[in-house]
Copies of this chain bind each other. A is one copy, B any other.
Amino acid sequence: MNNLLIAQSGGPTAAINATVTGILSLALIHDQVDTIYGAIYGVKGLLEENIINISQKIKNTVDLDQLTQTPASALGSCRYKLPEETEDAQVYEKIIEILRRYEIRYFIYIGGNDSMDTVDKLNRYCDKNGITDITVVGAPKTIDNDLVVTDHCPGFGSAAKYIATSFAEIERDCNVYDGKSVTIVEVMGRNSGWLTAASALSRINGGSGPDLIYLCERAFSMETFLNDVKEVLKKQSAVLVAVSEGIKDSDKKYIFERGQIAAKDAFGHTTLSGAAKVLETVIQQEIGCKVRSIELSVMQRCSAHITSATDIEESKLLGSKALLNALEKKGGTMAAIIRQSSRPYNVSYEAVPVSEICNKEKKVPKEYINEAGNDVTEEMMEYLKPLIQGENAVVYRKGIPTYFVF
């Protein structure tokens, strides 16, 4: 038997199941694939033999479509890093033993940096130990868009579309009253500002979008920030600010950490607040106008009711490509998107070595941030625009979208 195993890892996205669908679409019609298994909760689940038979669960294309529009890893996830073989060879032996028992020839791991590290380690173990009956490959996923080599990551485009749309809506919300007000919206991204940059896409139909955008790649100065806000308030009543959760000061200290010191509630408990909340408090004290902070929170990664058709289709194709890579015995590769041009938008799908990808982070390059450090450049807009194009016809039942649960 030539069985296939799929597992998912890392944080949820709205597109991660589309990659599973892409794998299934090809696997279901391919003679070289027999039973399709899924490990529940990633490699951790594999080690616990928490394995389901996907072939039995996905009965038709309606199931496939529902799975595609379901947010967050339908197979569950884990944040588990494989030890080095030198530290614990038994883990590897156990994985190989389980895979062989299930007659699994192809193992596709969908995830981000850490998951690609797992693919790399397993592949090296197989290579070193002459294991040729098992091929381990990766498929990318992360709303953070911080994987290197691949032009962008599945899940990012949909999150970017949600963020751009939300900013366009929040801009309308901000402008209903005529008094001075500041609205600070915190966007996910501890170490990379890609998602925060996507807020600028809210301008593409003529909206003003965020008046100020602060990415975590630039050192954040509270003084400059206050001056920036004051400048905008001279020109208009409502100021809209986008800020990465991971903005740091010049000492590389997270701004949100400032909110934690001495922040105790009535019970004496320490409360943790985000970067936007810290900025809200500072504006309140230093400027004194109406101010509020908003966190887009998990909605930006799981709002499957508004996804980018480009992102979902690409996520599927990357899944299919990962399976092709496995079938072609290209162990240790990740399916990646290589951009040929932005206008027209033209990409190719390639197998790239995971060793070049794992444990690295793609930050926003300097030329994508304006000189003042409070906005993005036209280059960034050119990069981002193609990724949010197209809408998906979400299937609703009784008023809410339908989701697939294994």
Contact = CB atoms under 8 A, between A and B. Distances in A.
A355 interface: no
A383 B394 CA distance: 25
> What class of interface size applies to chain A in its complex with B?
35 or more
A124 interface: no
Of the candidates A76, A161, A166, the one having the most CB atoms from chain B within 10 angstroms of its own CB is: A166
A341 interface: no
A131 interface: no
A47 B204 CA distance: 35
Interface stretch (A94-102, A189-197, A280-288, A330-338): A280-288
B164 A400 contact: yes
A372 interface: no
Most chain-B Cβ atoms within 10 A of its Cβ — which of A74, A176, A259, A398? Answer: A176
A83 interface: no
Nearest to A259: B265
A235 interface: no
Given A77-B177, A172-B71, A281 B305 contact: no
Nearest to A262: B264
Given A77-B176, A169-B305, A205 B398 contact: yes
For the complex of A and B, the 5 pairs showing the least CB-CB separation, nearest first, are A388-B399, A72-B172, A269-B281, A77-B176, A173-B302
Interface of A: 12, 41, 44-45, 70-74, 76-79, 161, 164-166, 168-170, 172-173, 175-178, 201-202, 204-207, 258-267, 269-271, 273, 277-278, 280-282, 284-285, 292, 294-299, 301-306, 308, 385, 388-391, 394, 396-403, 405
A295 B170 CA distance: 15
Contact of A399 (B45, B74, B161, B396): B161
A173 to B, nearest CB: 4
A129 B259 CA distance: 57
Nearest to A278: B265
A301 to B, nearest CB: 7
Given A281-B267, A398-B389, A403 B173 contact: no
Contacts of A76: 175-178
Contacts of A299: 166, 169-170, 294, 296, 299
A278 to B, nearest CB: 6
A12 B161 contact: no
A81 to B, nearest CB: 15
Contacts of A295: 294-295, 297
Contact of A173 (B169, B207, B301, B399): B301
A25 B172 CA distance: 23
A273 B293 CA distance: 10
A399 to B, nearest CB: 4
